[in-house]
Amino acid sequence: MDLESAIQEEIPDPACASKSDLSLMPTEFPDDGTIDELLRLAGVSTDRSAPRRWLESALVAARGTFEPRRVPQPSPAKHNAPLDKIERASNRLIAALKRLRSHPHAYASFWRFAAFGPVYVGEFERASVIPTLTHIRGAAREARVSRTGRPRNYRKQHIVDLALAFCARFSPKKPSSDANNFFPAFAERFFELATGSSVEGKGHGIGRQVKVALKRLPVEMERGALLNQTQLK
């Protein structure tokens, strides 16, 4: 799923989080100084409005995630049930959109919907809509579990993934895990501002999450390029 869209779905249900979770979670909207600090770490001009808005939204989304280990873990069947529904719904919607191509009048009317903006139908559908639905389906499959046990720390990985997605879209530098590269420092500061916790504490390091996130770099850079091309149409 595209991370820009995902940030709208990251607000947790307060009933699912303990009071201690909520008290540790930064809730204020990121101020200009916070955003400027992160932009400079990424080598992005503080005068650019698009990176600033994206970074603000990403920080809000990161602050809205909760720690799964502090919430009672359901059985695999209950965990997988909503994911199975998402996968089936994604399959149906992808198939329906492809079938729509064989109905030119309905196809043209559908893609003229104002919310889509002034886009070239075929390119927008293939470069943005279908890939996004495919990512949603893939995310549902990947999120399934087959056994109980200690849950993975999804929160840490998700926050670092957001940091990488920003850098892949807007930074003129190429992120890497090298100690002299800008990205580890950027990801650490982004994580600290999102969680209110220092990465220096025992068990708080994000080195492993940085390496895992960087495996997504080609995909994130391609996605950013496609989105930029779509917005220019």
Structure confidence by residue, pLDDT tens digits, 112-131: 887 776 665 566 777 788 88
The answer to whether 46 and 99 have CB atoms below 8 angstroms apart is: no
The answer to whether 156 and 211 have CB atoms below 8 angstroms apart is: no
Tell me the pLDDT tens digit for each residue of 19-76.
334 334 454 567 888 899 999 999 999 999 999 999 999 888 888 766 655 667 788 8
What local confidence, expressed as pLDDT, does residue 148 receive? 59
Distances (CA, A) of 89 to 84, 124, 126: 9, 21, 19
What local confidence, expressed as pLDDT, does residue 128 receive? 80
pTM of the model: 0.59
CB count in 10 Å sphere of residue 17: 16
Q: Which amino acid belongs to residue 60?
A: V
CB count in 10 Å sphere of residue 143: 14
Does position 186 have pLDDT exceeding 80, yes or no?
Answer: yes
Crossing angle of helices 182-195/32-41, nearest 10°?
Answer: 160
Query: What DSSP state is assigned to residue 171?
Result: -
What local confidence, expressed as pLDDT, does residue 61 receive? 83
Tell me the pLDDT tens digit for each residue of 161-185.
999 999 999 999 999 999 899 999 9
- For the chain, give the longest Cα–Cα distance: 61
Domain boundaries, the chain: 1-71+153-233, 74-148
The rounded distance, in Å, linking the Cα atoms of 165 and 158 is 10
What local confidence, expressed as pLDDT, does residue 228 receive? 63
